[in-house]
Amino acid sequence: WETCWFRVELCVPPAWAGREVHFVWESDGEAMVWRDAQPVQGLTKEGEKTSYILTSSLKETEPHSLTLYVELACNGLFGAGKGSMIAPPDPDKRFTLSKAELAIFNRDVYELLVDLEILLDMAQHLGEENQRSFQALYAANQIVNVCDVRDPATFPAARRLAAGIFGQKNGESQHTIHAMGHCHIDSAWLWPYEETIRKCARSWVTVVRLMERNPELTFVCSQLTLASVLWQAQQFEWVRCWYPGLYVQIQDYVTKGRFIPVGGTWVEMDGNLPSGESMVRQFLQGQRFFQQQFGRICSEFWLPDTFGYSAQLPQLMRGCGIRRFLTQKLCWNLVNTFPHHTFFWEGIDGSRVLAHFPPGDSYGMNGRVEEMLKTVKNNKDKGRVNHSAVLFGFGDGGGGPTQKMLDRMKRMRDTDGLPRVQLSTPDRLFSALEQESSQLCTWVGELFLELHNGTYTSQAQIKKGNRECERILHDVEVLSALALARGGEFQYPVVELQRLWRLLLLNQFHDVLPGSCIQLVVEDALRYYQEIRKAGAELQEEAVRSLCGELLQPHSESTESTLLLNTLPWDRTEVISRTGATGAETLALVTAPSMGYAVVREPLLPPQPVLVSKREDGSITMENGVLAVCLDTTGRLTSLRLLHSDRESVPDGCPANQFALFDDVPLYWDAWDVMDYHLETRKPVTTLLKPLEITQAGGLRGSATFSLRIGESSSLTQEIILDASCPYLRFLSQVEWKEAHKFLKVEFPVQVRSTNATYEIQFGHLQRPTHWNTSWDWARFEVWAHKWMDLSEHGFGVALLNDSKYGASAHGNVLSLSL
């Protein structure tokens, strides 16, 4: 992924005195103009920015000769995909510089063209039943008649005709649109993290130039981005480190209230998969950054482009000083149309925030008449509220607003027949909505996106890395807190922990953790996970040495001892593997207190050892006094009984631990989607490579192992383990995956009847239906969960736990985990 540099020597003819002079640059790749060692303008043909204004009126005292540098990236706004936008980058793709020249810009012609564009759009989109459409059409016709393109003296008369239309005002009841400049920049997606740093600079310096020429412009920044743009704190930190001169300018506009930080999180994270602690850290790091850099925290949570929103978010928002929420992503629903654009959103604990979805269903509008009319027509809360947002500017790959977008909306500020369009701020929008909120409806629970269900499963190594690193950092915090509380010389690793948390939070960006990014980004993410694992292990060791240093010292007595650490908030009694003095691995049944440690010299004796036996038909049974298990020769679970109730969990003829392979051919978004029709292609995995065999014969642990062939080229090996005194059965699975456009799941039919299944989410749980009575139920054919899902009836239930998966479903009595 490369950039190249051009040195451009310019010489402006003296005859151009008094004229507006532009440096014109047209290239396939994104470009940045540098002047006097500072970035001054982003240029991109896709983002309709192809010129840098050298002077608005050339004066004799201005330099007529100057040197510019242009940094040209080998990617467009949307990367460098081969054949389509979301294809992998093409290493052989060529980018062309098609124009580099000096030009006189005719401002009068430009203004007249914008007038005509607005009038013609009014004529086209207001409709034949609206008198204003004909007035606009006739005004445009008169302009064409009056204007002589060869005679600039005719331009003022033509512009007066347009002003006559734009000067006719609206009535007081007209809908008010709060237009905010916006520049959504994905921190990584079709380009690596490193390119995003340059995208931020190109986009934000362009907004700064617009603000200089348009005093009314504000920009809202959600990823720590701009004042009528959005800011992710991480992106702001990148600009602070790499472009300090630009950062100072941005800080100045923030102070003036024109560059407006919103969002409140470190990055625009995925709204489903991060743990509760991770989400809290997103807000903690983001709000702390805003407070330190700008003297204020955000009151709006701005997350326009993630793939659904957890029911826990309202409580987390309120706890972090945020009471307002904006997104638009649910307009992407494939099945049901979400019924509101402005409403109260209530979380699982009853916390409520005011939510607004821009009715134009976009965060990258162009300021066209059609978009303003759509915003009013689409609004599903007419009568309840009379205000809504329009977010304008090129986004996803950056770019932001343009001068033409601003000039279009200036003409629609208060024009009869069109909604009122005012350049506004998030605070003014939400303040107006709060004043009108008495009749708003309330939506309770998750905001589930009926699309992109495949992101719960794509890129298994990223999902595993996220879960592991969340656990590692949790354990480091617990052990460090215990070591600090014990006294002594231990120093809490504040700086290093913040660095590691920020790496993890960065990888939770809404195209990285979901797996909807290019391979270069995956490689970066896996490298960051490895760095967290390594540094986290070192921090754990330091904390343990401080906490239990004397217990780790060798003693004269020969009795072997084991130090146990328990970072979970309940006592645990489990079978562990430990290394003896000879280096041999042995098993021991031990117990450790909640959030504490213990030294074990004599392991416990189990109330009943694990009994393992093989029957004549090749099936294997295991029993430990709590559970009784039977496995067939292919590793499927044919019986699972809770002994004290003698209740069978597996239905007759429907074995559990059944692997199934599905076709995975979505309509378009390959890494994002799994469509409902994949369920029609189910094929049970039954081809044995190695039949079930006993691997541990009982005592403290019993286990059996088997191997299956999956599809044409893949394989799976699984060890099924039952430990002494353990109330659950473990399945250790190793998959060698070489399939394309296939989807592997494991299914557990259970003898439980319930209309709802329960799924773990951040700091709580959520119930979803197990039936498909309505289209809203059916659209949840594939959902997300964290560490467990449960199907229960009164007095009995079965739970399925996992250590690194998120995709799941429960239909009827079948619990499925997507692998």
Q: For residues 171 and 179, is the Cβ–Cβ distance under 8 A?
A: no
Give the pLDDT mean for 321-338. 97
Q: Work out whether the CA dihedral 373, 375, 381, 386 comes out positive or negative.
A: negative
- Measure the CA–CA gap between 178 and 596, rounded to whole angstroms: 54
Provide the 8-state DSSP code for 196. Answer: H
- Measure the CA–CA gap between 692 and 672, rounded to whole angstroms: 36
pLDDT value at residue 736: 97
Dihedral of the alpha carbons of 476, 477, 483, 485, in degrees to the nearest 10: -170
Q: Is residue 556 in some structural domain?
A: no
pLDDT value at residue 229: 44
- Measure the CA–CA gap between 292 and 282, rounded to whole angstroms: 15
Residues 519 and 575 in one domain: no
CB neighbour class for 622 (10 Å; exposed up to 12, middle 13-18, buried from 19): buried
Give the pLDDT mean for 565-584. 90
Residues 38 and 72 in one domain: yes
- The yes-or-no verdict on residue 465 having pLDDT over 90 is yes
- Measure the CA–CA gap between 708 and 182, rounded to whole angstroms: 51
- The yes-or-no verdict on residue 222 having pLDDT over 70 is no
Please give the span between the terminal C-alpha atoms of the chain, in angstroms, as a whole number.
Answer: 32
Dihedral of the alpha carbons of 389, 395, 399, 401, in degrees to the nearest 10: -10
pLDDT value at residue 221: 60
Residues 256 and 125 in one domain: no
Distances (CA, A) of 787 to 319, 656, 760, 764: 24, 19, 6, 11
Side-chain half-sphere CA neighbours of 744 within 13 A: 23
CB neighbour class for 554 (10 Å; exposed up to 12, middle 13-18, buried from 19): exposed
Packing angle of the helix pair 494-507, 460-485 (nearest 10 deg): 160
158: phi then psi, degrees, rounded to nearest 5: -65, -40
Q: Is residue 555 in some structural domain?
A: no
Residues 411 and 365 in one domain: yes
pLDDT value at residue 220: 67
Give the pLDDT mean for 121-145. 96
Q: Which amino acid is at 565?
A: L
- Measure the CA–CA gap between 477 and 504, rounded to whole angstroms: 15
Residues 208 and 100 in one domain: no
Could you tell me the pLDDT band of residue 228, with boundaries at 50, 70 and 90?
Answer: very low
Angle at 383 between CA 382 and CA 384, to 5 degrees: 90
Beta strands in 655-741 (DSSP E): 658-663, 683-684, 688-699, 701-710, 714-723, 730-736
Report residue 481 as tokens: 């807190």
Residues 258 and 226 in one domain: yes
CB neighbour class for 60 (10 Å; exposed up to 12, middle 13-18, buried from 19): exposed
- Domain end: 573, 600, 627, which one? 600
**pLDDT, tens digit, for every residue of 155-198?**
999 999 999 999 999 998 999 999 999 988 999 999 999 999 99
Which CATH number belongs to the domain containing residue 704 in this structure? 2.70.98.30
- Measure the CA–CA gap between 544 and 552, rounded to whole angstroms: 9
pTM: 0.95
CB neighbour class for 579 (10 Å; exposed up to 12, middle 13-18, buried from 19): exposed
Side-chain half-sphere CA neighbours of 401 within 13 A: 35
Which CATH number belongs to the domain containing residue 252 in this structure? 3.20.110.10
Residues 423 and 544 in one domain: no
Residues 641 and 521 in one domain: no
Q: Is residue 184 in some structural domain?
A: yes
- Domain end: 397, 421, 444, which one? 444
Residue 136 C-alpha from the chain's centroid: 43
- Measure the CA–CA gap between 328 and 506, rounded to whole angstroms: 22
Q: Is residue 685 in some structural domain?
A: yes
Q: Are strands 3-11 and 65-73 parallel, antiparallel or unpaired?
A: antiparallel
Give the pLDDT mean for 12-36. 96
What total of structural domains would you count in the chain? 6
Say which residue the tokens 């498909």 belong to: 772
Which residue intervals of 266-366 are DSSP H helices? Answer: 276-294, 313-319
pLDDT value at residue 225: 31
What are the residues whose beta carbons fall under 8 Å from the beta carbon of 434, sequence distance 6 or more?
354
- Measure the CA–CA gap between 265 and 332, rounded to whole angstroms: 23
Report the percent of the chain where pLDDT is more than 70.
98
**pLDDT, tens digit, for every residue of 575-590?**
999 887 777 889 999 9
pLDDT value at residue 215: 86
- Measure the CA–CA gap between 449 and 426, rounded to whole angstroms: 24
Q: Work out whether the CA dihedral 313, 317, 318, 323 comes out positive or negative.
A: negative
Give the pLDDT mean for 695-717. 97
Q: Are strands 230-231 and 219-223 parallel, antiparallel or unpaired?
A: parallel
813: phi then psi, degrees, rounded to nearest 5: -110, 20
Distances (CA, A) of 213 to 56, 368, 373: 10, 21, 28
Q: Is 360 helix (H, G, I), strand (E, B) or coil?
A: coil
Give the pLDDT mean for 297-312. 95
Give the pLDDT mean for 59-82. 93
Residues 228 and 137 in one domain: no
Residue 7 domain boundaries: 3-105
Could you tell me the pLDDT band of residue 380, with boundaries at 50, 70 and 90?
Answer: very high
Write down the catalytic residue from 270, 305, 407, 475. 305
Dihedral of the alpha carbons of 668, 674, 678, 683, in degrees to the nearest 10: 120
pLDDT value at residue 216: 82
Q: Is 171 helix (H, G, I), strand (E, B) or coil?
A: coil
Provide the 8-state DSSP code for 439. Answer: G
Q: Work out whether the CA dihedral 771, 775, 776, 779 comes out positive or negative.
A: positive
Q: For residues 419 and 175, is the Cβ–Cβ distance under 8 A?
A: yes
- Measure the CA–CA gap between 729 and 801, rounded to whole angstroms: 10
- Measure the CA–CA gap between 723 and 718, rounded to whole angstroms: 16
pLDDT value at residue 558: 54
Angle at 733 between CA 729 and CA 736, to 5 degrees: 170
pLDDT value at residue 559: 65
pLDDT value at residue 348: 98
Q: Is residue 742 in some structural domain?
A: yes
- Furthest C-alpha separation in the chain: 107
Give the pLDDT mean for 674-687. 97
Q: Work out whether the CA dihedral 454, 460, 461, 465 comes out positive or negative.
A: positive
Q: What is the mean pLDDT of the chain?
A: 94
Residues 657 and 689 in one domain: yes
636: phi then psi, degrees, rounded to nearest 5: -80, 150
- Measure the CA–CA gap between 609 and 109, rounded to whole angstroms: 90
Say which residue the tokens 């490895």 belong to: 530
pLDDT value at residue 227: 37
**pLDDT, tens digit, for every residue of 606-660?**
999 999 999 999 999 999 999 999 999 999 999 999 999 989 999 999 999 999 9
pLDDT value at residue 1: 82
Report the percent of the chain where pLDDT is more than 90.
88
Q: Is residue 171 in some structural domain?
A: no
- Domain end: 166, 187, 204, which one? 166
Residues 300 and 381 in one domain: yes
Is 305 labeled as catalytic in the residue annotation? yes
Angle at 730 between CA 724 and CA 734, to 5 degrees: 140
Of 212-221, 567-576, 769-778, the poorest mean pLDDT is in 212-221
Residues 327 and 181 in one domain: yes
pLDDT value at residue 759: 98
Could you tell me the pLDDT band of residue 556, with boundaries at 50, 70 and 90?
Answer: low
Q: Give rounded-to-5 percent helix, strand, coil for the chain.
A: 30, 30, 40
